[in-house]
Structure 1
Amino acid sequence: MRPRTLLGTGTVAALAMTALVVTPAAAADHPVINEFSASTSGTDVEFIEVQAAPGTDLSGHSLLEIEGDAGSAIGVVDGAWAAPALDESGFGLLELTADDLENGTLSLLLVQGTAAVGDDIDADDDGTIDIDVDLTLVDAVAVHDGDTGEITYGTELGVAYDGADFAPGGASRVPDGTDTDTSADWVRNSFSLAGIEGSTATPAAGEAWNTPGAPNEVFEEQEPPTDPVCLTDGLTAIGAVQGEGEATTITTPVTVEGVVTGDFQAGGFDGFAIQDAGDDDPLTSDGLFVYAPDAPELVEGDLVQVTGTPSEHYGMTQIAGGALLDCGDAELPAPVELSLPIDDHESFENMLVTLPQTLSILEYYDYGRYGQVVVGTGADGTGRQQQPTAVADPGSEEAAAVAAANAANRITIDDARSSQNPDPAIHPGTLEEFTLESGFRGGDTIAGITGVLDWRFDTWAIQPTEAGTFAPVNARTTAPEIEGATLEVASFNVLNYFTTLGSRGAQTPEELERQEAKIVSAITELDSAIVGLLEIENNDGAALETLVAALNEANPSVDGSARWAGIDTGTIGTDEITTALIYQPALVSPEGEHAVLDASVDARFDTTANRPALAQSFRDLDSDRVVTVAVNHLKSKGSACEGDTGSPEQGNCNEVRTLAAAALADWLATDPTGAGTEGSLIIGDLNSYDHEDPITTLEAAGWTDLLGQFEGEEAYTYVFDGLLGYLDYGLADAALLPSVAGAAAWHANADEPSLIDYTMEFKQDAQDALWAPDAYRASDHDAVVIGLALAAEPAPTEPAPTEPSPTEPAPTQPTDPGAGEGTDPGAGPGAGGELPRTGGGPSAWLLLAAMLLLGAGGVLLRRRRA
């Protein structure tokens, strides 16, 4: 621009000195702002270039950015920098960082003198630079983004100044130094960083290259060759591009040739994988990803040549942009057979591979959102993977070996899409649409999946091109029935059942209806006499009342009485979620008062972290036995606890949970309900795997882990990071243990993908429709069922008095055979399979045996209300 008085507006404190001096007009005989860049694709690359006759001294000159957006401090200095020194060619470059310059309306001024950020050069907002500003204006250029009420200072480059339909992000004077004081002096720069070091982009026809510190140049589009010819010489092997390391070492353009092995142009990857015949080097991959969002449609088997500069994109080698030639068809390479564990993924990056092993579906947490599942095997090459501390002691060599084997024996199957919540959801084994009739569960297997191995989102994954052999080996089951049980107790996590919408649980009435339907279905099928609930809203019993009402509506009794009832505790503790107990009044009745264990009862039970424990005794109406049930939800492993550094193997807050377990055992030993209980049961989510300190603490106090006893080391109720273990428990004290008939987890939740749960917030309509009002995926934890054999105690009989025979000893007092005396305590009910009791001499025992033989009573059957 020729030096002149500029128009503009401004606010706040003017620079009060002498008048702004305007130098005489002259074209190209004064320093000018020659090129600038304020906004580009990706992270902004920003700079201001000045140009003048070589040898011109710009000391004492400054470059200023002036605010022009309506509603902002118009006329205020947003940026101020000393003018750069000129090189021998007369160019000076001021390199800026991203966001130094605004992306909207702004003015750039070259002045003699200095100003500070925040100074106002138009305090009266009259559109004219104030006369009391002590600066000499040398040159100015401005960008106007088209919004109304905005002011610029200098030659204005507006939205359509050159016929385009958007404001320029940068511009160049062409030729250098031209200054006719009009927008015709300026050519917009390439927005796609063409010309910037490292960029392979090309300007659109008529745009200027970005040439910071160098002569300006307009791109003139060249006519493409009319008959492109595929090269026979000068090709670079893909293995040479990949190299033997984790990153390519080639930084100059190359031409590679390969067969398209994976077409990923749709779905967000915007490219395709190619593979050449190989270089016989086992350390280099023969596959490569080509990022080409504007490429013509390709299919697997096309032979292409691609010219471009190799680079690393978040750790994966690729070629972006450049020329693409279709050289006909070619036979697909045979997929490389890989078996877990894979020693060196990098040497197969973007190659076509197949996994012949039978792999179990381990993890599906990201399936609904990203279309990914993790598959793998246990350490022995089969089955699923276990949490290390579910099968071995924390810190042991065995636990470390399990962890290492887990990490080595797994890989992700992706869906070749980068979008979130994709529709349709693609089955990882069959590659067909996921439906309720053709879905999968954790533990189902896939063999022979084939696809391109790549590295995305910090994960090695197969982008499948050919379906594998899917086997639904882990079919759904109905609720477990404990053989020999007369009464069942269940622990059930209801996963944030909140009647208050918009908090942790349902966000809408429809979501609450869907959530409630699944929970009611699950509890109905369990049909246990007593159910401990976890993660129900702690709102003074309102959520519990709503759930009980829903259960009774779904399960009307024949006589019209309520089939279900809840223990009215009101609000317990201060957490948003709490524990609760429901029961069937036709089967049991509460005995005594409910009791709560919190820090006020025992300081070891930290209720700033743990939810308070809830205990209630129940009288079995069939046997007249009294059993106490304590439902618990200890602190999770997710977040840290103050003063508790946690454990590398056992997670955060391990000490908090361990102290709580010790307090719980001591508390229950005091009969806290005052009901004179004949045995106690701990249920709930203890947030600890069975070899961890809280559980071993309870075992040392005389409690028996029933899932471990009846289902063994491979028992589980939860899947985290693809690893099995159980956090949900049934533990019996020594008095109750002989009456335990069995325990089992119902795998209706942990093995199901969350895609079918009640939530609707992020799902597409087709995925919302996968919900069904059944028990499956009612929660993320599996329910635990404990069966008790509570046979009625026979009434003692009094034998008629007799005189002792001279040859027989006098009768002795009847003795208690003891809890499980002469039997394996882990063998369930039998001779010792009842609660400890006194009374009943030998004749009474004989009478009971006769009654059993005659079918007169006392048969141990699972009892459910009809």
Structure 2
Amino acid sequence: AGGSGTASVYSYGGSGETDRALGFVGGTRVARGGLRLINDSAQTITEFTLSFVGEQWRSASSDPSNFLRCEYRISATAFDLSSGTSHTAVPALQFDAPVTAGLDSALNGNAAGNRALKSATITGISWPVGSMLVLRWADTNSVGSDDGLAIDDVVFYAPTTTPAAPTVIETKPAPSAVDVLTTSRVAVTFDQPVSAVGAWATLNGAVSGNAPITIAGGPIRYEITPAARLNPGETYTLTVHATQVTNGGGTPMAADAPLIFTTQPAITNLQVISAVQGSGNSTPLSGQVVTVRGVVTADFQGAPPALGGLYIQSLPADDDADAGTSEGLFVYDFTSSGSADVNVGDQVLITGTAGEFGSQTQLSNITSLVVEGTAGLPDWVDAVLPMATSSELEPLECMRVRLPQTLHVTSVGTSSNFAINYARQGELMLSANGTLVTPTEDIDPNDDPASGTTSTGSGNVPAITAREAQNNLNILILDDASAAIYPDPTPYLNAQGTRRCGDTVTALSGILAYAGGRYRIQPVAPVTFVDANPRPVTPPAPGGRLKVAAMNVLNYFITFGGPNDRGASDVVEFQRQKDKVIAALTALDADLLGLIEIQNTPAAVADILTALNAATAAGTYAAAADPVGGAGGDAIRTVLLYKTAKLMPIGQCYADNDIVWYTPDPLRLPLAQVFEELSTGERFIACMNHWKSKSSSGAMGADADQGDGQGAWNNLRTAQAARLNVWLQSLMTAVGDNDVLILGDLNSNGEEDPLDVLRAGGYADQSSRFQPGDYSYRLGEARGRLDHAFATSTMASQIVGAAHWHINADEPAFLDYNLESKSVAQQALNVGTPFRSSDHDPVLVGVTLSPQPTSYAMWVASIEWPVGADTTPNGDADGDGMKNLLEFAQGSDPTTPDLSHAPWVEIVGGDFRFHYRFRTTATGIFVQPEWSENLSNWDPLTDTASEGTATSVIELLRARLDRTGKDRIFGRLSVSEVP
């Protein structure tokens, strides 16, 4: 045998079996194997007969034309089997069916569906004495990967003399064989081609009598297959009847040829697999030693990280046709001395102890595993998600299962019950009809329909409970058929080194197993994914003149190993973290950037600010000053960074110090800062938040998880929301601006009570407004929004877009900066990219500021007055003769004496003209130009017209009066407050 190039020649057969087949896998070159025979007779040979069995042991090619070509050559001298082109092909001996294409898996070439008997007599040749006849089989390359094809049971015959009476020269099983498998077929080989007619072979059991058979093959080698499984422990006689078998000259056999053999003895407590499985969730035969027969459907034998066993499924004759019982079983044979090596497609007889492991029925403590032969694999059984009940798939446990639908990856991290973990255990969570959604993201615990403002009660909790149950029924685990911990490489990664939630797989197939509280597929072939949710390389563009963003930077700590340190373990990890965070922040390119979970020290803020400016340009960003009393007592804080070319902070940064931010421990204080857009002078208040988390640690009483889907500390978060309403209302009054944008990690999904409190306070949810169904975080297998942007009505009117940049929530957690439990190759994945720079997705808001209605009180609050100044409407703080109310109405500075903006008059022809300025956004006042001839009696000037604008909020007006008949005219601007 030989091969060339990338072609290969193999020895195929069952594990531990001495019966082997000569196999071929073509590559870029041709794989060849064969025989060299010397004519050592005394005459030239003119014909020969060749018989063999063609077998397929591997299905890989998608090209169904893969085949074995049989050819011969006569030569006086030796030559290399791989050379030469003067061979003669024998089409009748070409093995091209059955050849199964495209399965990409091992096959059992001894199974009836994977083999074919080939035989032909070649005449008209001249094979001289002393010359050689070379028989050659060639497997040429096909498109894609090649199948594994083989030849077995080769028989050659060439007549040299007048043939004598035919005789049987070989049988399988051998004469007097014992322990013959009850599923065996019998092979009979003659010493020459024969004509076998009628009932030339019969099979009889010593007890059962005649056994019906079918016969195939010839004219030299024949295979006799019993129509049914033979009885165990019975002696059988196969008789070849001499009178029915003749050679080419018509000479019959001299005498009958009996073959006597005995099948393997009967087995005690032989059970069909379905009886071991039972109709419930656990085996009814727990603890019993049983023997089962089946075909190996998956081979996971071996020491860890192998699963340590194999899956078997019932033979067709043993299927109980009961839809309520499974026909599959796991056999845990690692460390069992009575086990043996197997291959997929082996028919096995196994004795072991029935039981459950992790609620999966199995046999363990294997005392005997006998490979009886081979059998065809059972058909796939279809299953679908979601399940109708939690036990709907139990009747398919351990069977070959296919899900014909499209499934979505819904978790690439850790499940909510911590039993499933992608990085640690190679397990992906799949769901149907899209990825799963946290119930309280779109179901309100107390409002139906959702998006109400009620923040107490539990009237709609049953709907949340129902959604949770529905989610649980819509989960299937894709396992990696391995027990490896932190497998390397991580399974199922794509070419970009990731596997994102939202990616899909269609027609998933494998063994349906159960572990970790979930049904799962153990694959038996590579799984093909569609990258249906590719990485968003650039952030969404929310529009507007200003881009505002908030991002959780996942414990950005510049110190390591201390009692309060939460981030990187050392400087190496920290640099990896910083590189990823800065990559995300620079890509966001926000004009105002709120950061969450940064170490509560000036040095940490300075570090991230320095790094951000180094990645952009010096001085691009500055940090809003800390509040007078600091940012709170927690180890982490929020911070506001702004582009100095776009924004300017006005006044101090404010923090609320209410007790609600110190219960039960010092928490993160909300920070608020007034910003002014440099290009327009328009202002707004940015308020950064990081509310109490959902962790149950320390939660008691009303703060404990109430089972309403909102997690622990919901009561405290609701109180924090209520307090924020009160505090921001007072702040709006204090600074004279109603344009408030609340940003941050509120640790509340879209319809939870704390957000109802904000809605009741007049704040509108901007991400749901512009991107319904958006998300920012995954808790286990479900997605929701913890990162929000809420705005007052006046602020909302200036927001043109909002969205989340999905760089984190959809990514595997192990792609973060941490080095633990990663190989060097895994540590090199995703370095310096924004992907998995945190566990939360950043939120972006597009803002185009515009003038908003302004009352006198708001105007007063927005101005930094001199100490002791009279700020009442009738006061004149700058002493320039114009009262404060007038300065408000005409848009002048009340703290600097300046009459350049005062009203003025002129005479143009016959007209008296009165010119004045008017603040178009002013509310709560009445402005009226008036005229008088005597300074006692005043009348309104009604003929007014616009002369343009001084600013976006200051209009220039002119009032006109015909001065005919009037000796003198006085003008004034009357400004009064409207009750």
2-structure distance, mates of 1:268, 1:678: 64
Matches within 5 A, 1:745-760: 745-760=804-819
Residue number in structure 2 paired with 1:611: 668
Residue number in structure 2 paired with 1:188: none
Q: Cα gap change, 1:630/1:333 in structure 2, threshold over 3 Å: closer, same or farther?
A: same
Asked if the contact 1:497–1:505 (Cα under 8 Å) also holds between the matched residues in 2, the reply is: yes
Asked if the contact 2:279–2:324 (Cα under 8 Å) also holds between the matched residues in 1, the reply is: yes
2-structure distance, mates of 1:309, 1:802: 114
Matches within 5 A, 1:217-296: 229-230=180-181, 232=232, 233-234=266-267, 235-250=270-285, 251-266=287-302, 267-277=305-315, 278-294=319-335, 295-296=339-340
- Give 1:611 deviation, angstroms: 1.7
1-structure distance, mates of 2:347, 2:314: 9
Work out which of the residue numbers 427, 436, 442 in structure 2 matches 1:391.
442
- Give 1:591 deviation, angstroms: 1.3
Q: Secondary structure of 2:575's match?
A: helix
Counterpart AA for 2:330: F
The answer on 1:595 being equivalent to 2:654 is: yes
Asked if the contact 2:181–2:373 (Cα under 8 Å) also holds between the matched residues in 1, the reply is: no
Residue number in structure 2 paired with 1:631: 688
1:439-460 per-position Cα deviation (integer Å, ceiling 9, x unaligned): 3211111111111111112221
Matches within 5 A, 1:448-527: 448-502=507-561, 503-527=565-589
Work out which of the residue numbers 356, 379, 397 in structure 1 matches 2:404.
356
Asked if the contact 1:541–1:568 (Cα under 8 Å) also holds between the matched residues in 2, the reply is: no
Residue number in structure 1 paired with 2:491: 426
Work out which of the residue numbers 699, 703, 708 in structure 1 matches 2:759.
699
1-structure distance, mates of 2:712, 2:907: 69
2-structure distance, mates of 1:847, 1:620: 14
Work out which of the residue numbers 286, 300, 308 in structure 1 matches 2:344.
300
1:6-55 per-position Cα deviation (integer Å, ceiling 9, x unaligned): xxxxxxxxxxxxxxxxxxxxxxxxxxxxxxxxxxxxxxxxxxxxxxxxxx
Asked if the contact 2:553–2:581 (Cα under 8 Å) also holds between the matched residues in 1, the reply is: yes
Counterpart AA for 2:349: Q
2-structure distance, mates of 1:323, 1:841: 105
1:127-167 per-position Cα deviation (integer Å, ceiling 9, x unaligned): xxxxxxxxxxxxxxxxxxxxxxxxxxxxxxxxxxxxxxxxx
2-structure distance, mates of 1:636, 1:409: 27
- Give 1:229 deviation, angstroms: 4.8
Q: Secondary structure of 2:793's match?
A: coil
Q: Secondary structure of 2:529's match?
A: strand
Asked if the contact 1:626–1:677 (Cα under 8 Å) also holds between the matched residues in 2, the reply is: yes
Q: Secondary structure of 1:651's match?
A: coil
Q: Secondary structure of 1:546's match?
A: helix
Residue number in structure 1 paired with 2:353: 309
The answer on 1:773 being equivalent to 2:818 is: no
1-structure distance, mates of 2:500, 2:721: 33
1:350-379 per-position Cα deviation (integer Å, ceiling 9, x unaligned): 1110111111110111211111111112xx
Q: TM-score, normalised by structure 2?
A: 0.56
2-structure distance, mates of 1:404, 1:341: 11
- Give 1:435 deviation, angstroms: 5.0
2-structure distance, mates of 1:302, 1:441: 38
Matches within 5 A, 1:368-767: 368-377=423-432, 382-394=433-445, 395=458, 396=460, 397-427=462-492, 434-435=493-494, 437=496, 439-502=498-561, 503-538=565-600, 540-557=601-618, 561-565=619-623, 567-568=625-626, 572-600=631-659, 603=660, 606=663, 608=665, 610-639=667-696, 640-643=698-701, 644-648=703-707, 649-671=709-731, 675-677=735-737, 679-712=739-772, 714-767=773-826
User: Which is greater in Rg?
Assistant: 2
Q: Secondary structure of 1:694's match?
A: helix
- The alignment covers a number of residue pairs equal to 585
2-structure distance, mates of 1:633, 1:389: 19
Asked if the contact 1:592–1:673 (Cα under 8 Å) also holds between the matched residues in 2, the reply is: no
2-structure distance, mates of 1:771, 1:348: 39
Matches within 5 A, 1:336-351: 336-342=381-387, 343=389, 344-351=392-399
- Give 1:476 deviation, angstroms: 1.7
- Give 1:419 deviation, angstroms: 2.5
Question: Where do 5+ consecutive residues of structure 2 fail to align?
Answer: 1-176, 183-231, 233-265, 414-420, 446-457, 854-889, 892-900, 925-943, 956-979
The CA RMSD measured in Å over matched residues stands at 3.3
Asked if the contact 1:551–1:564 (Cα under 8 Å) also holds between the matched residues in 2, the reply is: no
Residue number in structure 1 paired with 2:841: 782
Counterpart AA for 2:300: F
Asked if the contact 2:649–2:674 (Cα under 8 Å) also holds between the matched residues in 1, the reply is: yes
Q: Cα gap change, 1:471/1:624 in structure 2, threshold over 3 Å: closer, same or farther?
A: same
Q: Secondary structure of 1:471's match?
A: coil
Counterpart AA for 2:480: D
Residue number in structure 1 paired with 2:857: none
Percent identity for Structure 1 against Structure 2:
36
Asked if the contact 2:328–2:399 (Cα under 8 Å) also holds between the matched residues in 1, the reply is: yes
Counterpart AA for 1:393: D
2-structure distance, mates of 1:677, 1:814: 16
Asked if the contact 1:593–1:674 (Cα under 8 Å) also holds between the matched residues in 2, the reply is: no
Q: TM-score, normalised by structure 1?
A: 0.63
Asked if the contact 2:624–2:649 (Cα under 8 Å) also holds between the matched residues in 1, the reply is: no
- Give 1:402 deviation, angstroms: 2.4
Asked if the contact 2:852–2:921 (Cα under 8 Å) also holds between the matched residues in 1, the reply is: no
Residue number in structure 2 paired with 1:17: none
Q: Cα gap change, 1:814/1:675 in structure 2, threshold over 3 Å: closer, same or farther?
A: closer
Asked if the contact 2:273–2:292 (Cα under 8 Å) also holds between the matched residues in 1, the reply is: yes
1:732-785 per-position Cα deviation (integer Å, ceiling 9, x unaligned): 112312111111111111011112111111222222121321111100100001
- Give 1:575 deviation, angstroms: 2.1
Q: Cα gap change, 1:256/1:595 in structure 2, threshold over 3 Å: closer, same or farther?
A: same
2-structure distance, mates of 1:580, 1:764: 35
1:535-584 per-position Cα deviation (integer Å, ceiling 9, x unaligned): 1112x222111111111222224xxx454445445963232222122222
Asked if the contact 2:540–2:805 (Cα under 8 Å) also holds between the matched residues in 1, the reply is: no
Q: Cα gap change, 1:468/1:842 in structure 2, threshold over 3 Å: closer, same or farther?
A: farther
Counterpart AA for 2:380: P
- Give 1:656 deviation, angstroms: 0.3
Moved more, 749-758 or 393-402: 393-402
2-structure distance, mates of 1:412, 1:800: 83
Asked if the contact 2:661–2:667 (Cα under 8 Å) also holds between the matched residues in 1, the reply is: no
Q: Cα gap change, 1:571/1:329 in structure 2, threshold over 3 Å: closer, same or farther?
A: farther
1-structure distance, mates of 2:904, 2:361: 92
Counterpart AA for 2:435: R
Counterpart AA for 1:415: D
1:691-715 per-position Cα deviation (integer Å, ceiling 9, x unaligned): 1110010110011111111112x11
Asked if the contact 1:492–1:533 (Cα under 8 Å) also holds between the matched residues in 2, the reply is: yes
- Give 1:238 deviation, angstroms: 0.3
